[in-house]
Chains A and B, each alone.
Chain A
Amino acid sequence: MRLPRWKRDQARELDEEIQSHLGMAARDREARGAAPDAAKAESRREFGNVLLVQETTRDMWGWAWLERFAQDLRFGLRMLAKSPAFTIVAVLTLGLGIGANAAIFSVVYGVLLRPLAYRDAGRIALVFMNFSPQNSPRGNLSLADYFDWKARNRSFDAIGLYANGVQEITGNGTPEQVISAHVTANFFSLLGGVPQLGRTFVEGEDQGSSARLAVIGEALWRRHFGADPNILGKTVMLSGDATTIVGVMPASFHFPRQQTELWINYRLAPPKRRGPFFFTGIAHLKPGVTFEQAQSDTNSIGRNIEHDNPNTYARLTMPVLPLRDAMVGNVRPALWMMFGAVAFVLLIALVNIANLTLARSTVRRREMAVRVGLGATRLRLVRQLLTESVVTGILGAFAGLAFAWIAVRALQRWNPTNLLPRVGDIRLDWMVVIFTFALAILTSALFGLIPALRASASDPHLALKEGGRTGGLSTSGLRTHSALAVFEIALSLVLLAGAGLLVRSLIELQRVQTGVGAEPRHVLSMYVAATNAKYRDVAKGVAFYQNILDSVRALPGVEAAGMADLRPPNWWNEDDSFNIDGQPWSEGAFPSTPVGHIMPGYFETMQIPLLRGRYFTDGDRRDRHGVVIISESLAKRYFPNDDPLGHIMHQSQPEQHNPPMEIVGVVGDVKYQGLDSKNSPMAYYTPVAQSFVEAQFLYVRSTRAAASLAPEVEHAIHTIDRDAVVNHEQTLDITISDSASEPRFRTALLGSFALAALLLAAIGVYGVIAYSVAQRTQEFGIRMALGAQPSDVLRLVVGKGAALGAAGVAVGLAASLLLTRTLERFLFQVKTTDPLTLITVGAVLGLVAILAGYLPARRAVRVDPTIALRYE
């Protein structure tokens, strides 16, 4: 044994001390007349066992436990090295379980728990407005509401606004579109954002008279401006407006969005009306004020605003959300669900290892008996076996970290549609490493306790009396085995049931009809913006769109082209209530509904069927009377016994006095609010020429491959306006499939956990049956010698597997009925108690259990009775 240097010195001193003791004792004896040799021998005999004295003395140094631990550790490592198959299986099993946990923990920690990188982020709130008829819990404020809120505020010491947007940067090389935000002057100081260059906005720079200013992000500064150190004070064209750059923010600052890299000051003029609702409030709590107090304060402000504006609002509240909740609140349930699922996988892995260890400790019973015979206490044995488990746990933690590293990388790559917020904050750092090792050591010690207690409890007399036999498993040992196997079948059934439910609802989701008749693969869509200042003259904007359509339609292979500001299955730009002449308006009866602003050709391109009347034509111009096309379900609801054509409709509530629009057509329903939306697919459409919007999706139907078509379309657009921003090119099948990427992501994740669980459980059941078959080889030999047919033995063994399976399935189904309830929010048109899923999953697990029993059973019947009887 190698001791540390200082301890070696201490040991040498002890040795010297004992030698001097022996020397003095011998001299005393010589002085009393003994012969030198005899004196030496006698004093040594009197002294006793020098090594033992040394050892017990060393115990006094206070390092005994550590030494014993090192001893156990070395022994444990040696035992593990002696049975590499066991070690590899155990470490890999544990690595899988621990790794899945470490990966999900790093996501949960990064997204939900890691402190936000903003000063005092725990006391920053986002403030929304929720009212009828919009009914959006995270609805935006209008400017008028902001001023009312600010005037009556008592809870916050800073109040600001922001709104996300996009801006075109032109005039400096290639035109580029960047994700931007308009912010009030106090936005940066509120968040504690410090520029790396220049300054942010200062108090008062958000007045109507303020200059147009911009702060740019570090990445944009490098990419677009070549990291120009003299950027400050330079003027750029942002969507056609000359704007002065005053500062550069470091790359670590990304708010409101991960991709925001341009911040522009608001130039707020007192509003003339309530609306549009574009703004999100951001505010910092006064010292001592809680979020609850702030919430009740804003709600009372909301009631005042509602009272003063009864025609605009009903049931107005102003939700106050802590910044973190606002950023990550929507993924929280899914993440915790995943965390629960991986905990199950780990449990199953641990049960497997406990079973393996238990089986192996039976073989090691004689070793234990000898140790007890030599005076080892039970505590000592348990400690030694536990050390072995912990060593396995530590090795498993290393394997798990490797696994988690791969998993986290994959997860980040797999996040193309930005399902996870704060994905940049996910990394394997110290928190994850600590979590991983703590989890590995704790759980492996806990689960090592079962086999350790069992093994150390064996009676040494019995174990030794069994002589040369390797020692069979007692019935109670087999019972522990079986109970563990049942437990893991039940656990994996719960996971499989959960995954099955998600798969079922994903299938349901993909069956949903979008309402688009055209083959989605053949429809290419792209986003075209007319945000540049030169299109603020509506006639020019419409002409811009019309020119694009004309030249795209002229491209070879193009069958149809159209434009709309909505895109199935989950994008719509505006929704608003409406009113119909001759029908009494009430807020509940005319809910907010997607409004499409479209160019002629949209329905034809998408092949959305015309049920009555006509589509829009180029003749539906600004100077003609207003027209509107309604969707089938809107027609059915408001004109159940009547022809809707010729009726007059207005956008919004009657109080808005919007211009009249004659219903000229009824078209088929299209999903715009998401495939899983429970809202009615009602919508109404107006021509862009009569209600201009600054951006459109261009739809091109063609059987040509998108790869060759897209550049030609883009070229055609740039021929019309070389500064035009075009992006998000995608065929509609991809758009539809992307819209289900979140449930698909969840399903794939939970599904892979469930498969891992199934695999582990199968291995576990196989292990138990195989082990009991090996133990009963002799018995089978006797049975067959006495005339039992192989089929009888087969039935016996498979029956055992089936019994384990049945018990596990029964327990698992009961647990599933309780636990799958937590999945309710993730399910689409599938009940949490869906019998089809539960029966299928139960059957699968039953089959797996039977198969896991069948393989060892076949080995049992192939046994030659004469060999079996001699079997050791």
Chain B
Amino acid sequence: MGNRYQNRIELLQGTLDLLILQTLQWGPQHGYGISQAIRLGSGEVLQVETGSLYPALHRLERERWIESEWKLSDNSQRVKEYRLTPTGKKQLAAERSRWELLVQAIAGVLKPAGN
């Protein structure tokens, strides 16, 4: 493993779904694009393992939260693009509020006593 991975942290269990749904909120994207978007969006801190990404994509598709379509890319290559479905949007909202709850809860615990 190279040095540049050292600053990266493992994704928390269950957060990958949230990140994928959030990324797709801005428009259809293929698997590579999603992984790049998460990496760049997190300032290179979050690295999505492909071994987690593709299973997650296929699972979300089975849940009907996202759907896929084969498209031709800019350099006329076939790529599989994923798009958020209406139920996926609802799921995203739900996951976001759950995440915020979690963040607040953890922050509360971490807050120094007496403050």
Contact = CB atoms under 8 A, between A and B. Distances in A.
B55 A47 contact: no
B62 A60 contact: yes
Interface of A: 13-14, 16-18, 20-21, 23-25, 27-28, 47-49, 52-53, 56-57, 59-62
Given A13-B80, A56-B55, A48 B62 contact: no
A547 to B, nearest CB: 94
B32 A20 contact: yes
A61 B58 CA distance: 7
B100 interface: no
A48 B32 contact: no
B27 to A, nearest CB: 17
A52 B78 CA distance: 23
B28 interface: no
Interface stretch (B11-19, B46-54, B102-110): B46-54
Nearest to A43: B32
Given A48-B50, A48-B51, A56-B51, A20 B30 contact: yes
A17 B31 contact: yes
Interface in B1-54: 30-33, 36, 49-51, 54
B49 A48 contact: yes
Contacts of B31: 17, 21
A15 to B, nearest CB: 11
A47 B30 CA distance: 15
Given A20-B80, A57-B55, A61-B62, 8 more contacts: A18-B50, A20-B78, A21-B50, A24-B73, A56-B55, A57-B54, A57-B58, A60-B62
B58 A60 contact: yes
A20 B54 contact: no
Contact of B55 (A20, A27, A28, A60): A60
Nearest to A18: B54
Contacts of B59: 60
Contacts of A49: 51
Contacts of B50: 18, 21, 47-48, 53
A21 B30 CA distance: 8
A120 to B, nearest CB: 50
Contacts of B49: 48
A17 B54 contact: yes
A17 B80 contact: yes
Interface residues of B, number: 21
A23 B55 contact: no
B58 A53 contact: no
A1 to B, nearest CB: 19
Q: Which of A17, A25, A47 has the most CB of B within 10 A?
A: A17
Contacts of A13: 70, 80
A24 B32 contact: yes
Interface string B64-82: 0000001001010111100
Contacts of B77: 20, 23
19 contacts: A17-B54, A20-B73, A20-B78, A21-B30, A21-B50, A24-B32, A24-B33, A47-B50, A48-B49, A48-B50, A48-B51, A53-B50, A53-B51, A56-B51, A57-B57, A60-B59, A60-B62, A61-B58, A62-B62
A59 B55 contact: yes
Nearest to A49: B51
B107 to A, nearest CB: 33
A161 B75 CA distance: 93
Nearest to A17: B80
Contacts of A25: 32
A851 to B, nearest CB: 61
Interface in B67-101: 70, 73, 75, 77-80
A136 B31 CA distance: 86
Given A57-B58, A60-B58, A61-B62, A20 B79 contact: yes
A13 B30 CA distance: 13
Contacts of A14: 54, 58
B4 to A, nearest CB: 11
A21 B32 contact: yes
A13 B78 CA distance: 10
A21 B78 CA distance: 11
Contacts of A57: 54-55, 57-58
A16 B32 contact: no
Which 6 pairs across A and B sit closest by C-beta, in order of nearness? A60-B58, A57-B54, A21-B32, A24-B32, A60-B59, A17-B80
A57 B51 CA distance: 8
Contacts of B54: 14, 17-18, 53, 56-57
A57 to B, nearest CB: 4
A24 B70 CA distance: 15
Nearest to A24: B32
Name the residue among A18, A47, A59, A60 with the largest chain B CB count within 10 angstroms: A60
Contacts of A18: 50, 54
A24 B77 CA distance: 10
A52 B52 CA distance: 10
Question: Of residues B31, B32, B62, B73, which shows the largest number of chain A Cβ atoms within 10 Å of its Cβ?
Answer: B32
B52 to A, nearest CB: 8
A17 B59 CA distance: 15
Contacts of B70: 13
